[in-house]
Amino acid sequence: MAQPRILILGAPGAGKGTQSATISDHFDVEHVTTGDALRSNKQMDISHLDLEYETPAEYMDQGELVPDEVVNAIVDEALSSADGFILDGYPRNLEQVEALEGMTDLDVVLALDVSEDELVHRLTGRRMDPETGDIYHLEYNPAEDPAVEERLVQREDDSEETVRERLRVYRENTEPVLEYYGDKGVLERVDGEQAPDEVWEDVRAVIENA
Ligand code: AMP
């Protein structure tokens, strides 16, 4: 399989971003991630769509899903120029699954399994270096350079309250997506609580054996 079309599923904090970056490098496929795409366009004017809010930011900062028509358009555009891809953060509900099926076929669908307690711990301890974009964790991956440590910031939606809401939204909207691919018999589950390089070994094996 030269340029695989891969979907990675899992809760916020399951490690999709980390694994997707490695997958993208190793298999030479494009990393398509709706979370990053939306963060770069948080203030985009969507008032013409006549939705509840006028920008993605208002949905995101509360941990709610950005409306399907906005997200579907972003993914459609990104996939139309990609040969192979690793799709991360989408689809997050069954309507998005249907939209995706109209855009492309998939070669691999994998899910990272992580318990809810561990997800909360990972997300609320996550910090970002605003200068480099590098991700740290207060306990698992602390910044060693005091200058870096001092400038670290928390993502607005990583506060405990918003994390709990994001996980509720995940259970309600995105778990049916896992069930859907599970019922289709195509879902490959990987234990996401292992160390990142052990997760990667399992992820790579799943993709290579697809
Ligand atoms: P993430 O970085 O994947 O956790 O996404 C951050 C936020 O972006 C989410 O909490 C949503 O508000 C929004 N978002 C990302 N992907 C989607 C999607 N597929 N559908 C709707 N909203 C999304």
Could you write out the DSSP letters of every residue in the chain?
A: --S-EEEEE--TTSSHHHHHHHHHHHHT-EEEEHHHHHHHTTT---GGG--SSSSHHHHHTTTPPPPHHHHHHHHHHHHHT-SSEEEES---SHHHHHHHHTT---SEEEEEE--HHHHHHHHHTEEE-TTT--EEETTTB--SSHHHHHH-B--GGGSHHHHHHHHHHIIIIIHHHHHHHHHHT-EEEEETTS-HHHHHHHHHHHHHT-
Radius of gyration over every alpha carbon of the chain, rounded to an integer in angstroms: 17
93 touches ligand 1 (CB under 6 Å): no
Between the CA of residue 4 and those of 82, 84, 117, 178, 202, what are the distances in Å? Answer: 11, 5, 33, 20, 16
* Predicted structure pTM score: 0.92
Rounded distance between C-alpha atoms, residue 138 and residue 127, angstroms: 7
Report the nearest-CA residue for atom 5 of ligand 1.
35
- pLDDT value, residue 4: 96
Mean pLDDT, rounded, for 163-192: 97
Work out the number of other CB atoms within 10 angstroms of the CB of residue 203. Answer: 25
Residue 3 tokens, joined: 């340029």
Is residue 184 part of the annotated active site? The answer reads no
Nearest CA to ligand 1 atom 8: 35
For the cut 80, the answer to whether the pLDDT of residue 10 exceeds it is yes
Going by DSSP bridges, is the β-strand pair 126-128/135-137 parallel, antiparallel, or unpaired?
A: antiparallel
Confidence of residue 91 (pLDDT cuts 50, 70, 90): very high
Query: What are the pLDDT digits (tens) for 57-84?
Result: 999 999 999 999 999 999 999 999 898 9
Question: At residue 2, does pLDDT exceed 80?
Answer: no
Q: Which of 39, 42, 151, 155 is catalytic?
A: 155
Q: Which of 60, 100, 128, 168 to mutate to test the pocket of ligand 1 (most atoms within 8 A of CB)?
A: 60
15 lines ligand 1 (CB under 6 A): no
Whether 92 is catalytic is yes
pLDDT at 127 over 70: yes
Compute the average pLDDT of residues 101-126: 96
Tell me, using a 6 A CB cutoff, whether residue 119 lines ligand 1.
no
In this prediction, residue 1 has a pLDDT band, given cuts at 50, 70 and 90, of low
Task: Find out whether the beta carbon of 12 lies less than 6 Å from any atom of ligand 1.
Answer: yes
- pLDDT value, residue 73: 95
Give the pairing of strands 108-113 and 187-191. parallel
Ligand 1 centroid to residue 155 C-alpha, Å: 13
Query: Per the structure block, which two tokens stand in for 166?
Result: 């994001």
pLDDT in tens, 185-194: 999 999 999 9
Q: Which atom of ligand 1 is nearest to the CA of 96?
A: 19
- At residue 109, φ and ψ (nearest 5 deg) are -125, 115
